[in-house]
Amino acid sequence: MNELNPHVSGLSIRRISGQCCRFSIALAALALSVLCAAQAKPATTPDVLVLSNGDTLHGAFVSEIAGKVTFHSDVLGDVSLGWDKIKELHSSQKFAVVNDQEKPLGRKAERRMVTGSIDVVDQAVTIRPEGAPAQAAIPVEHAQFIMDAATLDKQLNHEPGFFQAWTGAATAGGTLVTATQNQYTFSGGIGLVRTVPSVSWLRVRNRTAVDFAGSIGKTTQPAYTNPGPPPVQVAAVVTKTAIYHADAERDEYLSPRFFALAETAFDHNFAQSLNLQQIYGGGLGWTALKTPTQEADLKATIQYEKQQFFGSGSGQNLVGSTIAASYLLHLKRLTYTQGLSFIPAFNDAHAYSVNESDAVAFPAYKNLSFSLGTLDSYLNDPPASLPPTKRNSFEFTMGFTYAIRSKY
């Protein structure tokens, strides 16, 4: 028998060993892929929307708000329809239904809202929780809101970031005149409100509002010489106006209509010799009217107030109250807002003030609107001065308003 060459024999063994190793790795990779495929969840079944004319759309049901159903079709994109155009709707995703026949839910009850797949047949919505019996059918006219479980969780259990969920408007206008007199005026303002949750289908837990409005102007009559005789040098005359208001308020809702609040406000009015008025207080509020187009709030606070006038030293410290009302009307072609406030002082009956603001905005193009506004303020205790200071100040503004809508 011929003996094997040791070198050749070792090389053959190494080759066979390497091939076995590669085969083992390939076999392990194949087994792992088969295991992952076995554990993978089946593809999500598309939602089905059957129209009243028999047409069928496949895609994803998005939401329903006040009778308007939004459905994302793979072919048509987002489609918005009323319930009268829908024969059937079937979704395997998890949704929650808000019934407008039930009283507003507290936060604990909201957390227990049932979620599950939904079926709409014969103008009735049935929600089918996972592992539980189907809920009683709700007529579509009472299914005020249908929202997915992820959105419900975000609104119930999370708070928006500092720069999120704000809505409001910014307004600006101005005038420039160059003639015998030189004149300029500028007015502007911004108002922002954030409610949490930021959706109308859940009860409001808290609300934050910040506002700023200002108007500044100057009219200059240049110096000139009256030829006389004798010639007289007439000095330049400068007339200034400056009115500023800023406030912030935080509301914590105790029920759907009642809330506790904390507020602060700052006012400056050069025409009334008011250098700075500061207010810090807290109190209670009541939402007297709330519909999809209107809202009215009544508020009363107890507060500390400090007034500082030009040339009057350190000013005066007051303890008083703010009794206020606000109204909002939102229609398709205009938005009207009004604010009224009466600010008495308990330790000085003469130190009271009254303010009223009105604004109307007419939509012009996308987020731009044309706006008109008035601000009427009455200050009962301005200091004596020459020329005499009027107690009433009235301001009319006109400009453009840009709507601010921060998403969350």
Is the model's pLDDT at 97 over the cut of 60? Answer: yes
Q: How confident is the model at residue 118 (pLDDT cuts 50, 70, 90)?
A: very high
pLDDT at 259: 97
- From 157, 181, 200, the end of a domain falls on 157
For the question of whether the overall pTM of this predicted structure is more than 0.85, the answer is no
Q: How confident is the model at residue 7 (pLDDT cuts 50, 70, 90)?
A: very low
- Cβ-based burial of 276 (10 A; exposed 0-12, middle 13-18, buried ≥19): middle
d(CA 147, CA 202): 11
CA dihedral 86, 90, 94, 100 (to 10 degrees): 30
Element (H, E) at 130: none
* Same domain for 249 and 118: no
Element (H, E) at 284: strand 274-290
DSSP-assigned letters across all residues of 237-251: EEEEEEEEEEEEEEE
Total number of residues shown for the chain: 408
**What's the mean per-residue pLDDT of the chain?**
85
The whole-number average pLDDT for the span 104-129 is 81
Task: Return the minimum-mean-pLDDT range out of 42-56, 154-168, 292-306.
Answer: 42-56
- From 126, 157, 188, the end of a domain falls on 157
pLDDT at 216: 93
CA dihedral 151, 256, 104, 293 (to 10 degrees): -80
CA dihedral 56, 60, 63, 67 (to 10 degrees): 0
* Same domain for 241 and 323: yes
pLDDT at 341: 96
Place of tokens 């009860």: 203
Tokens standing for residue 265: 């406000």
The whole-number average pLDDT for the span 209-236 is 89
CATH code (residue 173): 2.40.160.40
pLDDT at 37: 43
Find the domain containing 367 and state its range. 167-405
The answer to whether the CB of 93 falls within 8 A of the CB of 128 is no
Residue 155 burial (CB count, 10 A): 20
| pLDDT tens sequence across 309-333 | 987 666 789 999 999 999 999 998 9
Tokens standing for residue 133: 């019996």
| pLDDT tens sequence across 336-388 | 999 999 999 999 999 999 999 999 999 999 899 999 999 999 999 888 777 78
* Same domain for 401 and 313: yes
Q: What's the total number of domains in the chain?
A: 2
pLDDT at 16: 41
Place of tokens 């009235």: 394
* Same domain for 177 and 129: no
pLDDT at 243: 92
Is the model's pLDDT at 211 over the cut of 50? Answer: yes
* Same domain for 112 and 171: no
Q: Are strands 56-65 and 143-148 parallel, antiparallel or unpaired?
A: antiparallel
Identify which of 299, 306, 304, 345 has the alpha carbon closest to the alpha carbon of residue 324. Answer: 299
Is the model's pLDDT at 55 over the cut of 70? Answer: yes
pLDDT at 114: 85
The answer to whether the CB of 342 falls within 8 A of the CB of 356 is no
d(CA 343, CA 324): 9
- From 157, 175, 202, the end of a domain falls on 157
| pLDDT tens sequence across 225-282 | 888 788 888 888 888 889 999 999 999 999 989 999 999 999 999 888 899 999 999 9
* Same domain for 317 and 237: yes
Is the model's pLDDT at 19 over the cut of 90? Answer: no
Identify which of 140, 136, 117 has the alpha carbon closest to the alpha carbon of residue 128. Answer: 117
